[in-house]
A and B are shown apart, each in its own frame.
Chain A
Amino acid sequence: MAEQMTVKPAATGTTDAAVLGYRRSPAHHLAELMAAASGEQVRLREVPFLTQITIRATAPEAVEAVGNALGVTMPSAVGEVAQGEFGEGGSGSSGSSGSSGSSVSVVWLSPDEWLAVLGDEADTGVSIAAVVESLSVALGERRGQVVDVSSNRTTLELSGSKARAVLDKTIELDLHPREFPVGRAVSTQMESVAVILWRSADDTWLLMPRASFAEHVVGWLADGMREFS
């Protein structure tokens, strides 16, 4: 135990695989419930352990510097998500030492706040520490924040031809493609729970509730899915 407590991820390397093996995602105990609720028309699953980094910055040059480190142009308006590749091509100022890379999406949350979402470090080989390090270096002494919030939220994926019908029961925004096209993400409420709602494909929606709300959100969605199963 004590040995594991002292494991420190190398700033630009990968986190020890043994440490990653201890992780438990917020909805891991609900896998059976989600599988049972899923059918041909709508399916629900957790996409665990995505790397999530909160970025806060106000000065335009600081925002641009962080965007360069991530390999994206930072989104500037509500709903916008920027896509890029981190690592690999050397976009990260110090995160490209390995042979690994990850696609990155940057979600606009506020005029001075963004959420960078990358793949699970166990799959991509891009450690959270490496991303935080790279972005912190890019931000430099300028006013702002780069914080690992990967454990703050989990990601639930609702997909299928009736996915929108399930969401329409409870999300109060207009989810018609005219108002909510593929690639749009906003923070809003599902019932009374704060979530990031993200349309990643025509029939695929990601919901990102805080970890402690995962059980409630899964149960709520599973109930809404019943008529389609």
Chain B
Amino acid sequence: MMVIPCPFCGPRNETEYTYGGQAHVAYPENPDALTDEQWAQFLFYRDNPRGSYAERWQHSAGCRKWFNAVRNTHTYEITHVYRLDQARPDGLPKAPLATKEVGA
């Protein structure tokens, strides 16, 4: 059982939260201009690092707010939590997969 610190409510058990996948995946500026492959990249492809990973969580049984957390996928340690209107903490891996060159 992970204990996740909600930025608004403090530490609560994992069972109070809903997982929302990778954070900072920007919606394409012009979806019409994308190829099917690029669109699929945006919809379905996500990073899968061993280590720090910025992801979205919702405190669904508490304040019901979405926020971002940086979790180590290997140790499960949560090193940062931050509101959606706050910048991603410095020094963390950037560039979600959706912004990468397709076919590179």
Contact = CB atoms under 8 A, between A and B. Distances in A.
Contacts of A189: 15-16, 61
A110 B13 CA distance: 17
Interface residues of B, number: 12
Contacts of A113: 63-64
Given A188-B12, A188-B16, A189-B15, A78 B61 contact: no
B16 to A, nearest CB: 6
A196 to B, nearest CB: 10
A187 B63 contact: yes
Nearest to B13: A172
B8 A188 contact: no
Contacts of B64: 110, 113
Interface of A is mostly: strand
Interface in A45-97: 78
B63 A78 contact: yes
Given A78-B9, A186-B9, A110 B16 contact: no
Contact of A111 (B12, B15, B65): B65
A109 interface: yes
B61 A187 contact: yes
A188 B62 contact: yes
Interface string B1-44: 00000001110110110000000000000000000000000000
Contacts of B65: 110-111
Contact of A109 (B10, B12, B13, B63): B63
A78 B65 CA distance: 13
Given A110-B63, A187-B61, A188-B61, A78 B16 contact: no
A194 B63 CA distance: 11
Contacts of A172: 13, 15
Given A109-B63, A187-B63, A78 B13 contact: no
- Top 6 closest A-B pairs, CB basis? A110-B63, A78-B9, A189-B61, A172-B13, A194-B61, A187-B62
Interface of B: 8-10, 12-13, 15-16, 61-65
Interface of A: 78, 109-111, 113, 172-173, 186-189, 192, 194
15 contacts: A78-B9, A78-B62, A109-B63, A110-B8, A110-B63, A110-B65, A111-B8, A172-B15, A187-B61, A187-B62, A187-B63, A188-B12, A188-B61, A189-B15, A189-B16
